Structure 1
Amino acid sequence: MTAPGATATPASGSRSRFARAIGGRAAVWIAFGVVHVALVLLNLYGQGWPLGDVEAVYLAWAQNADRGILRMGIDAPWVYPILAFAPMAAALALGPALYPETWLGIVTLLDGLALSVLLGRGRLSRSRRAAAWWWLAFLVLLGPIALGRIDAITVPFALTGLLFAVGRPRVAAVLLTIAAWIKVWPAALVVACVVALRRRAEVGAIALALSGGIVLVSMLAGSGLNVFGFVAEQAGRGLQVEAPIGVPWLWRIAAGDDAVQVYYDREILTYQIAGPGTDVASALTTWVMAAGVLVVLAPGIRAARRGATAVALLPALSTALVVVLILGNKVGSPQFATWLAAPVVLAIVLDRRRALVPALLALGVAATTQVIYPYWYGWLLAADPAFVGVLTLKVVLLAGLLAWALHRVWQAGAVRATAAVAAA
């Protein structure tokens, strides 16, 4: 609104029209449709076979189980937790010929449900609107991998769970625990909730009870200890080419060191690095990751004991734990970048001004991920210096995101409860 006697300038008028255009739910939903149609088309017809795991691996697992040949996680140890089989089997509903399209439809539907929770039913706040637009931008920059892996199933569960965490922690515990039994990483968000929320005992009890129920049902189906097979399967993997910890060896290849090479592991179905010290590095990553989690949890527990609110603590603690799992992971697959969406969206919803730094850093991680995969993945496998440089930049951005998160966790515990409540 202009002051009396003043005339609105064309620039201010255009800004006002632009703000109105992106301000409503309809605009967000239209953008959601456009983004997902584009990502679906890239997955189906884009360069680099982005749906390789879905078409070549998930489909085979689903068909083997459907034919009674082999049920992964039940009849044999599996690289994923047992609930990962549910979406893989569901994507077979329209037959093997339409398996990729059905998979992409399931992911799009789950993303749509998560977006509906994010936007809410009441008046659309600026923070939730900003978070929605950020998430769509994140998906665009991340590219087809945002839909084309099992991780894409967990993201809407994790995002919705965190959005419910402050007001409805029981619902959050259920959603996050289900997500963790599809792919392990959301377990970090359960831990963050146990530390940051006042009703931590309820969250922990629900997570343990639900996990126990999932294990019991799996064992009744005949899994035995195969239900825990994903732990050993992950521990036995080598140093994958995209792993942050593998960057120094990639630079050695780029420099012409013949002692280091990239090879294809036909058992794990991934490209890995072999060379002096890689076996030791691979063996140590689990311990490094565990140590990193403890380093993050220490200031988080300190902040909670000092009375930090969940609003101040949960987004930063969730972000820090997720980034530690990415940086310390010897797998380092490109789809791991999808994990960042849930904690960053929560940070924007709860305090969008202070979330600018992590929002920008996460967008950078998404963009560098798409540069490498799926379009020019071969250049990274050849250790081309430019693409090793892109991977190095991605690691730097992740390290910056971790530094921001640790700083915010420490700040959350820097004052006593009364001061924290006043600041909130």
Structure 2
Amino acid sequence: METKGAGRSLAWLLATWALTRAALLLFVFQVYAFSDLDVTSDVSVTYRGWYEVLRQGTFPLDDVTWQYPPAAALAILSPAALPFLSYAHAFFLLAFLADAVVMALLLYPRRRPERSLRGAWVWLAGVPLLGPTVYARYDVMVTAVAVAALLAGVRHPRVMGALTAFGALLKVWPALLLVGCFRRRAWASAAVTAAGLAALFAVSMPGAFAFLTFQRERGTEVESLGALVFHVARHFGWQGQVLLNYGSIEFLGPHVEQVSTAALALTGAAFGWLLLWRLRVTRREPHTLAEAAFTAVLLFTVTSRVISPQYLVWLVGMAAVCVSFRASRMGAPALMVVAASFVTVLEFPFGFVHVVTSDRYGVLLLVVRNGLLVAASVTAGRRLWRSTVPPAPAAPLPPRPARPRKAPVSP
């Protein structure tokens, strides 16, 4: 009976996955309109423009919107593998393939007693809740690499290290997967792979690391946690502007620099907490690696100056890996991330005009979405700490002073 029940659950999961992903493909292929705002223009315009430059053997040195590590060129150039399709259509199919790879990775070890289908269900639900934006950015490809790295880390640390380094050269954040890794072989593999790939790109393509200088003048993106300060301030006469800057819609004006600096300080504090956790951790289980990575990516995302919709793809992927372990305690933060994904699609693309104009509806959406992410970060951090760091021993009570004995009364 249990085998039949598991088989039915798997069949429902796969059928639902197929239906939801078919819907996403219909939206990005524009068979049906998802919203008034076209979420695919990044692929058809921006990515396609970079593609033409990268084909010449150089990075987009004159385009400050190119803010990605050198291996991102592989994702942008990947549609060349399907020359019989247009650039955009090929990219959408490759993004769909990356989505399928993640699902396959989450399903593969389901027969092991310590694993479950919960992770696959989280991925199944979280991705379509974000809408077609998932297939219109290359973040789902990076997430596939990160998921593969985390799942390999339990048994194959060298493979994890190599995949993590490759992911970090795609979009930096997968480097956070090493936060909970205590195996030297993984760190050594990551260092060797990163050094080799970086040297290869530096020698073969000019401007491989020009992206490091393209973010100095960035403001605070309108969807970030710090942006709430200016959304509220606009109702009290704040004189700044909302402009397209460095590829995203940002606040520019008085006190933006201070808020951006505060966001960087919060990121530094988050990394300090993670370092303290590494120094204090004593109990490590197979799922600790994934839980630490999930917590680190949550903290990085929440404290960033930018929280674009596609960032939620990272969080859904990391949450899915966590809850695929039966012993994981990250169920509540994972559900918060899934809920935040739904609020995110309400905010972008459906409510983006309200966000940009800072009206009450737009501010409410951001408060709810970012509030869910903050709650998920705090909950994940607390549960990670409690499950791995022993409580501090209670200070012993001082001994009570002995009472003086009364002298015996003589008869």
Q: Same fold (TM over 0.5)?
A: yes
Go from structure 1 to structure 2 and tell me whether the alpha carbon gap of 1:374 and 1:171 turns closer, same or farther (over 3 Å shift).
Answer: same
Go from structure 1 to structure 2 and tell me whether the alpha carbon gap of 1:103 and 1:171 turns closer, same or farther (over 3 Å shift).
Answer: same
Residues 61 and 71, structure 1, Cα contact 8 Å, conserved in 2: no
1:237-272 deviations in Å (ceiling 9; x for gaps): 21111111111111222x25241331222xx12211
Aligned to 1:7: none
Go from structure 1 to structure 2 and tell me whether the alpha carbon gap of 1:311 and 1:353 turns closer, same or farther (over 3 Å shift).
Answer: closer
| 1:264 alignment partner, SS class | strand
1:248 paired to 2:248: no
In the alignment, residue 320 of structure 1 is paired with which amino acid? T
1:91-150 deviations in Å (ceiling 9; x for gaps): 144459722211111111122222222211673769432211121101121212222212
Shift of 1:354: 2.8
Residues 287 and 322, structure 2, Cα contact 8 Å, conserved in 1: no
Aligned to 2:241: 261
Aligned to 1:27: 12
C-alpha distance in 1 between matches for 2:99 and 2:278: 30
In the alignment, residue 168 of structure 1 is paired with which amino acid? H
C-alpha distance in 2 between matches for 1:42 and 1:383: 28
Instruction: Please give the residue correspondences for 1:229-248 in structure 2 after superposition, counting only pairs within 5 Å.
Output: 229-248=210-229
Aligned to 1:184: 172
| 1:330 alignment partner, SS class | coil
Residues 74 and 222, structure 1, Cα contact 8 Å, conserved in 2: no
1:35-76 deviations in Å (ceiling 9; x for gaps): 21111222232221111211111111102233x3x7226798
Which of 156, 165, 169 pairs up with 2:144? 156
| 2:222 alignment partner, SS class | coil
TM-score by structure 2 length?
A: 0.86
Residues 151 and 338, structure 1, Cα contact 8 Å, conserved in 2: yes
In the alignment, residue 343 of structure 2 is paired with which amino acid? T
Of residues 285-294 and 370-379 in structure 1, the stretch that sits farther from structure 2 once superposed is 285-294
Go from structure 1 to structure 2 and tell me whether the alpha carbon gap of 1:22 and 1:234 turns closer, same or farther (over 3 Å shift).
Answer: farther
1:290 paired to 2:268: yes
Aligned to 1:363: 338
C-alpha distance in 2 between matches for 1:188 and 1:73: 27
Which of 200, 208, 211 pairs up with 1:217? 200
In the alignment, residue 320 of structure 2 is paired with which amino acid? V
C-alpha distance in 2 between matches for 1:394 and 1:404: 15
Structure number with higher helix proportion = 1
In the alignment, residue 302 of structure 2 is paired with which amino acid? L
In the alignment, residue 21 of structure 2 is paired with which amino acid? H
TM-score by structure 1 length?
A: 0.84
1:291-337 deviations in Å (ceiling 9; x for gaps): 2111123123311xx2x114353233212211111111112211111
In the alignment, residue 63 of structure 1 is paired with which amino acid? E
Go from structure 1 to structure 2 and tell me whether the alpha carbon gap of 1:109 and 1:235 turns closer, same or farther (over 3 Å shift).
Answer: same
C-alpha distance in 1 between matches for 2:168 and 2:111: 32
Residues 369 and 394, structure 1, Cα contact 8 Å, conserved in 2: yes
1:169 paired to 2:169: no
List runs of 5+ in structure 1 lacking aligned partners: 2-15, 417-424
- Pairwise CA RMSD: 2.6
Go from structure 1 to structure 2 and tell me whether the alpha carbon gap of 1:134 and 1:88 turns closer, same or farther (over 3 Å shift).
Answer: same
Aligned to 1:272: 250
List runs of 5+ in structure 2 lacking aligned partners: 392-411
How many pairs does the alignment contain? 386
Aligned to 2:407: none
C-alpha distance in 2 between matches for 1:18 and 1:381: 51
| 1:407 alignment partner, SS class | helix
Aligned to 1:375: 350
| 2:310 alignment partner, SS class | helix
C-alpha distance in 2 between matches for 1:165 and 1:353: 16
Of residues 52-61 and 255-264 in structure 1, the stretch that sits farther from structure 2 once superposed is 255-264
In the alignment, residue 198 of structure 2 is paired with which amino acid? V
1:76-100 deviations in Å (ceiling 9; x for gaps): 8841001111121121444597222
When Rg is computed on C-alpha atoms for both structures, the one with the higher figure is 2
Which of 390, 407, 411 pairs up with 2:382? 407
